[in-house]
Amino acid sequence: MLKASTRRLIPSITNETVIAWIGLYCLAVVMGYGRFLFTATLPDIMSELSLSTTIAGWLASVNYMGYFLGSLIAMFVPHRLTWRALILGTLLSIITTLLLFLPNLPLSLWYVIRLFAGIASGIGMILGSSFIIQSFSTHKRSLLSTVHYAGIGVGISASAILTWWLLSLDLHFYSIWLVAGLTSLPLLVLLYAIRPDGVLQGNALNKKPSIKQTYINFKRSLYEAMVGQAKAVLLLSLSYVLAGFGYITSATFLPVMAAKQLPTQTHAGLLIWLVVGVFAMLSNPLWGALAKRIGETKTLMGLTLLQALGMFVPLWFAGAFGLYINAAILGATFVGIVSMTLNIIKNINPAYSNLLIGLATLAYAVGQFLGPLVTVALAGAKDNFDAGLLVAGAGLLLGLVLILSFSRQMKQVRQGS
């Protein structure tokens, strides 16, 4: 009876366009808030808690390690349990956001909370994208997918605007995390409304395989997914490690760089972070259209080269100009690199697309984990991020070489078949 009354209170949503916007909201919460609100609030967090750049870097890396673990967990979730796992991941993301409202948390709890926030982001990104995109009909999938992935940019923009607004009211990061968590709660209701048929009757829980059988099935699927394509998958995955490593320096420390370089401009870092979000929001449809004309691999090459150049811009032009250009290029490229890479790798063997997407996401997470640690090590006592930007750009250029090698390898595979 309770289930029947719940269904009446929260009717099912089947309109594909509405589902795409729910997917956008989902990524805005688990990625925009769960991962990138930390970037927006980092200068205030460092000031209020008297944190060093090294500690801030470790907090960021712990979150990205959580993203790695969440991605790994998502790879083992059976298809029939995708929606349930997505609900749990989203709930965990909201809880970890709300917990940072609590004052006087010890640093050890910050590490734990950011770790679990990363786990929730990894689960939400992979399972949310898989569940939402599979809800679209074939002829609408390309267009509606761009709406879904725009959620990352929307979340980044929202994190900048929310932080800017509350700091201007003389509030601090505690209040920002509280408001972010509260505005995320309606997502749970909307995800419930797009539940798959039969999920409430417990059909998804029948015939649960053992852990051993799940592992055996995973090994078999991994072999079948990569047979004849192992070198191509390895090359693309390694390039994706470097993509994660390359972009994360700006994606973590850009507002901190702005606060140090532009001390007279109040909240300059948040305006620059807003630029990242706006460009991330608007650019994905552009890259999708370009990919239809010249192909996804060539588009990925162009995006990687552009992002590498963007890392060098603050080294060539000190001050506001260099930071704003870096922000615009970062926003314009990083979501495109993600969507292009995931589309390319899943098409290597479409029958195992979820597994291949999971492998790629693990690779990206490794790069993201290493990036902040390398950056803070190079920053030194003076907190100079120039060396970190230089290494990030060099890593992206090396990734470009790997993508070129991947392209040649795929041509050889096609010619051989």
Query: pLDDT tens, 236-275?
Result: 999 999 999 998 888 888 888 888 888 777 778 888 989 9
Measured CA to CA, the distance from residue 238 to residue 220 in angstroms comes to: 22
Percent of the chain surpassing pLDDT 70: 89
pLDDT at 165: 92
List all residues 6 or more positions away from 307 whose beta carbon is below 8 Å from its beta carbon.
Answer: 243, 246, 247, 329, 330, 333, 334, 337, 396
129-138, 182-191, 324-333, 401-410 — which is least confidently predicted? 129-138
Q: Based on the structure, what is the number of domains in the chain?
A: 1
pLDDT at 205: 47
Comparing 199 with 288, which gets the higher pLDDT?
288
Comparing 193 with 355, which gets the higher pLDDT?
193
Mean pLDDT computed over 201-219: 55
Comparing 304 with 50, which gets the higher pLDDT?
304
pLDDT at 412: 79
CB 390 within 8 A of CB 312: yes
Comparing 9 with 104, which gets the higher pLDDT?
104
pLDDT at 118: 94
Which structural domain, as residue segments, surrounds residue 19? Answer: 13-196+229-411
pLDDT at 166: 92
H runs (alpha helix) in 262-295:
268-294
Measured CA to CA, the distance from residue 186 to residue 110 in angstroms comes to: 25
217 within some domain: no
CB 326 within 8 A of CB 250: yes
* Residue 33 DSSP label: I
List all residues 6 or more positions away from 361 whose beta carbon is below 8 Å from its beta carbon.
Answer: 71, 74, 122, 125, 126, 342
Measured CA to CA, the distance from residue 185 to residue 389 in angstroms comes to: 37
221 within some domain: no
- Whose tokens are 């001390």? That residue is 263
Confidence of residue 400 (pLDDT cuts 50, 70, 90): very high
Sign of the C-alpha dihedral, residues 56, 59, 61, 63?
negative
Sequence letter at residue 281: M
pLDDT at 95: 97
Does residue 173 have a pLDDT over 80?
yes
5-14, 151-160, 381-390 — which is least confidently predicted? 5-14
203 within some domain: no
The verdict on pTM exceeding 0.75 is: yes
4-13, 322-331, 389-398 — which is least confidently predicted? 4-13
- Whose tokens are 């750009």? That residue is 393
Average pLDDT, the chain: 85
**pLDDT tens sequence across 310-358:** 999 999 998 889 999 999 999 999 888 988 898 888 778 777 676 788 8
7 within some domain: no
211 within some domain: no
Confidence of residue 281 (pLDDT cuts 50, 70, 90): confident
Does residue 5 have a pLDDT over 80?
no
CB atoms within 10 A of CB 32: 29
How many residues in the chain? 417
152-161, 223-232, 376-385, 395-404 — which is least confidently predicted? 223-232
Does residue 277 have a pLDDT over 60?
yes
CATH number of the domain enclosing 396: 1.20.1250.20
Mean pLDDT computed over 151-171: 91
38 within some domain: yes
**What phi, psi does 264 have (nearest 5°)?**
-85, -10
Comparing 349 with 105, which gets the higher pLDDT?
105
